[in-house]
Amino acid sequence: MSIDMSQFHQVFFEESFEGLDIMETGLMDLDLGAANDEEINTIFRAAHSIKGGAGTFGFTDISSFTHVMETLLDEMRDGCREVTREAVDLLLASIDCLREMLSAVDAGDEIDQVRKDSLQKDLESLLANGSGDSKPQSVQQTVESSKDETTSQGIWKITFAPHPNLFKTGNDPVRIFRELKTLGVLTSIVDISKLPSYFELDPEESYLTWEMKLDSECSEAEIDEVFAWVDEECELTISKLTEQVIIDDSPEEEITVVATEEKTEIEKQDSVKPVVARKKTNKKAGSENSSIRVGIDKIDALINMVGELVITQSMLSQISENFVESDLEKLRDGIDELERNTRELQENVMQIRMLPISFSFNRFPRLVRDMASKLGKNIELKMSGEQTELDKTVMEKIGDPLVHLVRNSLDHGIEMPDVRKAAGKPEVGTLQLNAYHEGGNIVIEIVDDGAGLNKERILSKARENGLVGEDEILPDEKIHELIFAPGFSTAAEVSDVSGRGVSMDVVMRNIRDLGGVVEIKSEEGKGSTFTIRLPLTLAILDGQLIRVGDHVYIIPLVSIVESLQVESENCNSLAGKAELYKLREEYISIIRLHKAFNITPDSTELTKGLLVVAESEGQKVGIFVDDLLAQQQVVIKSLETNYQKVDGISGATILGDGTVAMILDMTGLVHLSRNNPVAISNSQSLITEEAVA
């Protein structure tokens, strides 16, 4: 029977990546002086599993590479080899290589042979000279048989005397005879001389001995193979007789030299043919896989809730059948119950997509360790709130931005040890990663006690890039936010770690795409704190409903700064092209929704409506609307999949009354109104009116 092994590959890759994570964390936690046996054993087992699986599924490169790592770890766990920093570093580098190899095989790509061979050589040389006591070098080998393997027709004499407790290991001579029979013609004589009397007999012990003759073409090795398991539990002799000469004392039947009947060849232990998965798969190798682990308790809670929902639903059905007015109260209660059930169900379903942020945080100990040693700095990482849960997709997308921010802190934030000492700070810099829930959001903080943002440098760079006017004076937060501008970087040299000036802009955009915000607090000489606020889920939005004419739109609450009534004296026009509103000390542009979407408002007079001040890409804009309606949670439905992409709109939702409301995309809106010539020319005339008024 041939089985398609590829159906098990995906599970193997998943568990191997998990195993590598366990190895990595384990290695980094190892106390170099006094390594705990159980800890090393855990690391060893992970390597052993990967090797075993790789061998079974035919990934020989991975198997042989992991084998060397496993040997090294085996020596460590047996106490034959000291756990040195050198060994740990080498193993960590090997883990990286293995990750790459696994990803490559998963995707059907070629393995980086050069990298693998080089690391394997390093591992082998460490094994060879290192501080290991001589343990038998075990290199993968096929079964070596020291016995003669020549096959030829002959008669074998086999005496088999099992020890008394053969049965206690679950062995049975009958099986052995059965197997011998598959090699040739078997005759046997039993010797019962050791059998004690009935009353002394222990039925669980073996007292019998057999003398057998096997007429076969097989080799001695094959016969040995049959007895392999009971080798140490019996007295065994195997010798070959020629066909003519019969060396034997006891009377026996005539040996019939017959052609052997069924002759099944005992399968030799060949090495498994390498069946490396070279098919091109469409799956993306890496952290984004399409499955998620969910605790059984969450599933059980869901099942309960659906049960409740069904009960409520049948109750409501019953009421609606033969409905009389006096049932109205019951109906209302039923609907309340329905709302409760639905809300509970919604909350719990959201929970399923939630995973603890530790999955994301776990990469940082290694990252900080490697970077700190690369930069020559002394840095301690403290993490808190690793169990804080967030949506799986949000977590996957926040990964890279977090890495960028952490790298920045390590590279630019925390100073070199001598600089810190001179400033009276402890030589060891501290980087904190905190996560917690607040409101309907998850908050992630990256705190360092480094040098803080240098306002002077930022300002001068911004002036250089034309982002800020020569004489413009900005409050501190504004200066800090400048680092999010595209292409901005004050790093003196472009290190390969950061400094290309690309990261911060991308960070900001990624966080915005997730519906989140980033805040900076920094004090020169003391340190910086980056705070990321993200909604707990991507599918639901807290929105502010607004009305323009007959149309209802939704502005994401997270983008709204404030709403106000328009005071005509604060309205201005700038070179007749755009309308501005003076909001305290700053000027913000006004976007007339009715112009942008070409609809009829209640009134075009600014003072008759409301201005919703919203933020887009660090800039504030004022959205002119007729009225503010309720604030509510809305489920985001994609416009793209149901219709097509529309500028200025990020999605749609269905309101309680069944109508469709569009969700505004702030960034798109700003561009729209800037480019809309109708809006510009119309507003020109309107502004002159208002300016005069």
Partner 1 sequence: MASILAVDDSASMRQMVAFTLKGAGYEVIEAVDGVDALNKAKGKSINVVLTDVNMPNMDGITLIKELRKLPNYKFTPMLMLTTESSMDKKSEGKSAGATGWLVKPFNPDQLLGTIKKVIG
> Helices (DSSP H) in 438-574: which residue ranges?
455-464, 476-481, 503-513
Is residue 70 among the annotated active site residues?
Answer: yes
Give min distance, CB of 299 to partner 1, in A.
19
| x/- track of binding to partner 1 for residues 562-581 (CB under 8 A) | --------------------
Closest Cα partner for 291 from 355, 361, 350? 355
Q: Does 57 bind partner 1 (CB under 8 A)?
A: yes
Buried b (16+ CB within 10 A) or exposed e, 73-103: bbbbbeeebebeeebbebbbebbebbbbbbb
Is residue 642 among the annotated active site residues?
Answer: no
Stretch 348-407 residues interacting with partner 1 (CB under 8 A) = none
Count of alpha carbons within 13 angstroms of residue 550, beta-carbon side: 3
Instruction: Report the distance separating Cα 488 and Cα 92, nearest Å.
Output: 34
Give min distance, CB of 271 to partner 1, in A.
8
CB-CB contact of 395 with 359 (8 Å): yes
Among 133, 232, 261, 470, binds partner 1 (CB under 8 A): 232
> Which entry of 9, 24, 67, 70 is annotated as an active-site residue?
70
The smaller minimum CB distance to partner 1, of residues 56 and 600, is found at 56
Instruction: Report the distance separating Cα 80 and Cα 72, nearest Å.
Output: 10
Instruction: Report the distance separating Cα 196 and Cα 207, nearest Å.
Output: 8
For the chain, helix (H) and strand (E) counts, in that order, are 20, 22
The smaller minimum CB distance to partner 1, of residues 59 and 484, is found at 59
Kindly state the helix (H) or strand (E) to which residue 338 belongs, with its residue range: helix 328-352
> Which entry of 48, 67, 412, 480 is annotated as an active-site residue?
48
What SS3 class is residue 284? coil
Among 26, 55, 132, 162, binds partner 1 (CB under 8 A): 55
Interface stretch with partner 1, choices 38-46, 92-100, 345-353, 591-599 (CB under 8 A): 38-46
Q: Does 229 bind partner 1 (CB under 8 A)?
A: yes
Stretch 250-289 residues interacting with partner 1 (CB under 8 A) = 267, 269, 272
Closest Cα partner for 82 from 40, 44, 51, 119? 40
> Which entry of 341, 408, 510, 676 is annotated as an active-site residue?
408
Among 113, 131, 168, 457, binds partner 1 (CB under 8 A): 168
Interface stretch with partner 1, choices 6-14, 108-116, 439-447, 679-687 (CB under 8 A): 6-14
Q: Does 228 bind partner 1 (CB under 8 A)?
A: yes
Among 1, 324, 575, 630, binds partner 1 (CB under 8 A): 1
Instruction: Report the distance separating Cα 77 and Cα 460, nearest Å.
Output: 57
Beta bridge partners of 216: 154, 184
Among 169, 237, 320, 685, binds partner 1 (CB under 8 A): 169
Among 21, 25, 39, 42, binds partner 1 (CB under 8 A): 42
Among 82, 100, 179, 380, binds partner 1 (CB under 8 A): 179
Q: Does 615 bind partner 1 (CB under 8 A)?
A: no
Stretch 186-205 residues interacting with partner 1 (CB under 8 A) = 204
Interface stretch with partner 1, choices 41-49, 110-118, 349-357, 620-628 (CB under 8 A): 41-49
Interface stretch with partner 1, choices 47-55, 79-87, 555-563, 610-618 (CB under 8 A): 47-55
Q: Does 48 bind partner 1 (CB under 8 A)?
A: yes
Give min distance, CB of 291 to partner 1, in A.
12
Instruction: Report the distance separating Cα 93 and Cα 69, nearest Å.
Output: 11
Is residue 408 among the annotated active site residues?
Answer: yes
Enter the DSSP assignment of 621. E
Enter the DSSP assignment of 643. S
Identity (one letter) of the amino acid at 25?
A: T
Instruction: Report the distance separating Cα 213 and Cα 216, nearest Å.
Output: 9
Kindly state the helix (H) or strand (E) to which residue 161 belongs, with its residue range: strand 154-162
Instruction: Report the distance separating Cα 357 and Cα 428, nearest Å.
Output: 26
Interface stretch with partner 1, choices 156-164, 229-237, 292-300, 475-483 (CB under 8 A): 229-237
Instruction: Report the distance separating Cα 537 and Cα 437, nearest Å.
Output: 12
Instruction: Report the distance separating Cα 458 and Cα 490, nearest Å.
Output: 7
CA 119 to centroid of chain Cα atoms? 25
Q: Does 178 bind partner 1 (CB under 8 A)?
A: yes
Q: Does 45 bind partner 1 (CB under 8 A)?
A: yes
Give min distance, CB of 132 to partner 1, in A.
15
Instruction: Report the distance separating Cα 277 and Cα 106, nearest Å.
Output: 7
Among 85, 128, 133, 141, binds partner 1 (CB under 8 A): 141
Instruction: Report the distance separating Cα 539 and Cα 518, nearest Å.
Output: 20
Q: Which residues are catalytic?
A: 48, 70, 408
Q: Which residues bind partner 1 (CB under 8 A)?
A: 1-3, 5, 7-9, 11-12, 15, 42, 44-45, 48-49, 51-53, 55-57, 63, 67, 71, 138, 140-141, 143, 167-172, 175, 178-179, 204, 228-229, 232-233, 267, 269, 272
